[in-house]
């Protein structure tokens, strides 16, 4: 396989909280159009890593590059402007706004229209067109005028991703997109995640292994803040260390259970 | 799909509604209809605009402030002093007050960007106390505790002299307030207005969609300060007087009460609140001069516990649907 272009990379990324090492010299490469799953047991430092990449936390040491530019110390909203966008494990929506208003605002924001105070929100035809596309793509058209607070959890989850995609990301970080979604709404969400545009590189954090293995082309396993291994899903599935981590410490030390 | 219909729906929500036109007409009629109470109408108009100014940061952007009187007071004194020492044309005075209040807002905005709500309450309160004490101490300039006297305003537009009955003053205030309300109505329905509401709803996410949260907040804080300054200037010009109470804590607290009564995060909430508050104050203080605050307090408790939607403003729930 020829080497695709790297869009997001982390080199020797470290983060300490006092004496606690949350991220330990992590190297990560995300390629153009990648479907990359980031997995690991609870407390492995997945969310910390996401927070470092998006700029919510600043790294103790190490370097982050986006599209060849150093973004290690860039403010979070400027990283978004450069194309690094995330969704949140716990929905972070504009709860008093409807999906329509939310997406119109986000698309306007992406196109630099939020400095306008005289125009009406949604006056721009191109913006509206894009909003309509997004609403349809995320199955939100029917509920687009309901206040987001009153949407079902599954719809809120869809909106959560729609908001991120409205930012026109180059790299999209999906933090547990299907966590907590009831079975009835799950299929819709999975289908939508699978149909995200192929030119957007996606990093998926997820505990649901069915989704991970059906979705990912590359995987990275984090344990105790460090990369345990990375590679293609079928290799990871066979990796003994990964099995040990997920099955518990007895196996790690090779002590037979019975 | 019903998407195209949805769009006209949303755009029509931003259209001026029949009751808004009614409101404009009612406002324009007040100086004539209530000509015997012109100064009361004037005071309500000024206070309403002040409440709307607070709503821009409190209701729309989620910044709490217990010291918005700082800008109101600055507006009042700057307009008074401008008339006294520079030029007595009312509109020039207003312009001066608006711009200078905006700049003071800019300087103060950096104090409210960080920290929690409690920090903001304290910082804003502190700023208004500083204003109060400065106006008190610089008595050579401001007249100190006696208030700023000897303000002689010129005629509005060079034609309309302020009269004793307050008719011109009242018309002038209502006109300016209406004009500002029209501008602010555009603002809150614009993409910029949406970005403020997004910040209020979820600052973390607003940042995560690439919005420069600090910049937006600085801008709206300036605008809010300028509008508060404008209302203070109107008061000083129409009463030809500015006293220390324009900076007082009570003024900041009262205006927040009005906003809560009328509805936070709704452009007309401040106006409605100011009307209700001032009328209640007027009625009750003539009935029970000593205890009128008791009834305001009771109203507030009932309002918050029962919910405004059911009590006073049935249109709001209907509007947001």
Domain boundaries, chain A: 6-252
Closest by Cβ to A77, choosing from B189, B190, B207: B207
**pLDDT average, residue stretch A83-108:** 92
* pTM over 0.90, yes/no: no
B304, part of any domain: no
Least confident piece of the model among A67-71, A238-242, B272-276 = A238-242
B66, part of any domain: yes
Tell me whether residues B202 and A80 touch, CB distance under 8 A: no
CB crowding B213-235: b at 16 or more within 10 Å, else e = bbebbbbbbbbbbbbbbbbbbbb
pLDDT computed for residue B71 by the predictor: 95
Least confident piece of the model among A40-44, A69-73, A137-141, A215-219 = A40-44
Number of residue pairs across A and B with CB atoms under 8 Å?
130
B166, part of any domain: yes
Least confident piece of the model among A6-10, A201-205, B313-317 = B313-317
Tell me whether residues A109 and B2 touch, CB distance under 8 A: no
B319, part of any domain: no
pLDDT computed for residue B200 by the predictor: 92
Pick the CATH number of A6-252 from 3.40.50.970, 3.30.1320.10, 3.40.50.300, 1.10.10.10: 3.40.50.300
Our measurement of the distance from residue A258's CA atom to the centroid of its chain's CA atoms, rounded to an integer in Å, reads: 41
B123, part of any domain: yes
Tell me whether residues B205 and A100 touch, CB distance under 8 A: no
- Dist. CA B283–CA A39, nearest whole Å: 67
Q: What single-letter DSSP state applies at residue A115?
A: T
pLDDT computed for residue B6 by the predictor: 52
Q: What single-letter DSSP state applies at residue B162?
A: P
Dig out the tokens for A48 from the structure: 């910390």
DSSP A78-95: HHHHHTEEE--SS----T
Pure H helices in B34-89 = 38-58, 69-81
Q: Which residue range forms the structural domain that includes residue B178?
A: 22-249
ipTM over 0.90: no
The answer to whether the CB of B97 falls within 8 A of the CB of B202 is no
Dig out the tokens for B116 from the structure: 């929690």
Identify the residue among B5, B187, B191 best suited for mutation to test binding to A, counting A beta carbons within 10 A and taking the highest: B191
pLDDT computed for residue B3 by the predictor: 43
The whole-angstrom distance between A180's CA and the closest CA on chain B is 20
Identify the residue among A55, A115, A121, A160 best suited for mutation to test binding to B, counting B beta carbons within 10 A and taking the highest: A121
**pLDDT average, residue stretch A107-129:** 86
The whole-angstrom distance between B223's CA and the closest CA on chain A is 12
Chain B residues whose CB is inside 8 A of the A66 CB are none
The whole-angstrom distance between B205's CA and the closest CA on chain A is 6
Q: Between A208 and B219, name the one with better pLDDT.
A: B219
Dig out the tokens for A21 from the structure: 């090492």
Helix (H), strand (E) at residue B238: helix B213-239
- Dist. CA A217–CA A235, nearest whole Å: 11
Tell me whether residues A120 and B194 touch, CB distance under 8 A: no
Regions of chain B with pLDDT less than 70? 1-14, 307-321
State what percent of residues in chain B have pLDDT above 90.
Answer: 39
The whole-angstrom distance between A141's CA and the closest CA on chain B is 6
Helix (H), strand (E) at residue A221: strand A218-223
- Dist. CA A225–CA B144, nearest whole Å: 64
């Amino acid at each position: 396989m020829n080497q695709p272009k790297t869009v997001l990379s982390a080199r020797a990324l470290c983060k300490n909280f006092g004496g606690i090492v949350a991220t330990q010299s992590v190297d990560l490469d995300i390629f153009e159009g990648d479907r990359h799953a980031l997995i690991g047991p609870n407390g492995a430092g997945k969310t910390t890593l996401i927070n470092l990449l998006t700029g919510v936390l600043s790294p103790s040491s190490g370097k982050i590059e986006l599209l060849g530019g150093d973004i290690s110390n860039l403010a979070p909203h400027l990283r978004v402007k450069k194309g690094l966008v995330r969704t949140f494990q716990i929905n972070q929506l504009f709860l008093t706004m409807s999906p329509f208003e939310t997406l119109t605002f986000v698309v306007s924001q992406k196109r630099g229209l939020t400095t306008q105070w005289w125009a009406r929100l949604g006056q721009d035809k191109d913006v509206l067109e894009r909003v309509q596309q997004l609403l349809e793509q995320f199955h939100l058209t029917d509920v687009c005028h309901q206040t987001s607070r009153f949407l079902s959890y599954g719809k809120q989850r869809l909106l959560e991703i729609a908001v991120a995609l409205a930012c026109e990301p180059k790299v999209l970080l999906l933090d547990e997109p299907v966590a907590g979604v009831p079975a009835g709404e799950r299929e819709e969400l999975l289908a939508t995640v699978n149909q995200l545009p192929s030119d957007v590189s996606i990093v998926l954090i997820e505990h649901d292994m069915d989704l991970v293995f059906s979705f990912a082309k590359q995987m990275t396993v984090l344990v105790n803040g460090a990369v345990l291994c990375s590679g293609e899903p079928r290799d990871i599935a066979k990796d003994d260390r990964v099995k040990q981590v997920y099955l518990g410490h007895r196996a790690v030390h090779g002590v037979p259970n019975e | 799909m019903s998407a195209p219909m949805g769009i006209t729906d949303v755009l029509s929500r931003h259209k001026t509604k029949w009751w808004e036109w009614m409101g404009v007409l009612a406002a324009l009629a007040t100086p004539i209809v209530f000509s015997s109470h012109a100064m009361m109408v004037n005071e309500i108009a000024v206070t309403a605009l002040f409440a709307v100014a607070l709503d821009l940061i409190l209701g729309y952007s989620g910044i709490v402030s217990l010291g918005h009187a700082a800008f109101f007071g600055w507006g009042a004194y700057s307009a008074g002093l401008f008339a006294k020492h520079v030029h007595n044309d009312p509109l020039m005075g207003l312009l001066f007050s608006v711009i200078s209040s905006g700049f003071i807002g800019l300087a103060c905005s950096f104090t409210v960007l960080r920290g929690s709500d409690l920090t903001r309450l304290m910082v804003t309160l502190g700023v208004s106390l500083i204003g109060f004490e400065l106006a008190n101490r610089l008595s050579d300039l401001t007249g100190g505790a006696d208030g700023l006297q000897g303000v002689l305003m010129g005629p509005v537009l060079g034609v309309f002299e302020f009269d004793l009955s307050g008719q011109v003053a009242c018309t002038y205030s209502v006109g300016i307030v209406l004009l500002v309300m029209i501008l602010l109505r555009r603002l809150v329905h614009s993409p910029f207005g949406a970005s403020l509401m997004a910040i209020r709803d979820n600052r973390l996410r607003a940042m995560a969609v690439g919005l420069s949260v600090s910049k937006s907040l600085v801008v709206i804080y300036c605008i809010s300060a300028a509008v508060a300054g404008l209302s203070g200037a109107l008061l000083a010009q129409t009463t030809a007087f500015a006293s220390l109470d324009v900076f007082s804590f009570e003024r900041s607290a009262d205006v927040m009460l009005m906003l809560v009564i009328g509805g936070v995060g709704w452009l007309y909430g401040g106006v409605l609140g100011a009307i209700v508050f001032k009328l209640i104050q007027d009625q009750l203080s003539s009935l029970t001069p000593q205890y009128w605050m008791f009834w305001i307090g009771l109203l507030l408790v009932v309002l918050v516990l029962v919910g405004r939607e059911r009590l006073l403003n049935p249109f709001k729930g209907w509007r947001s649907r």
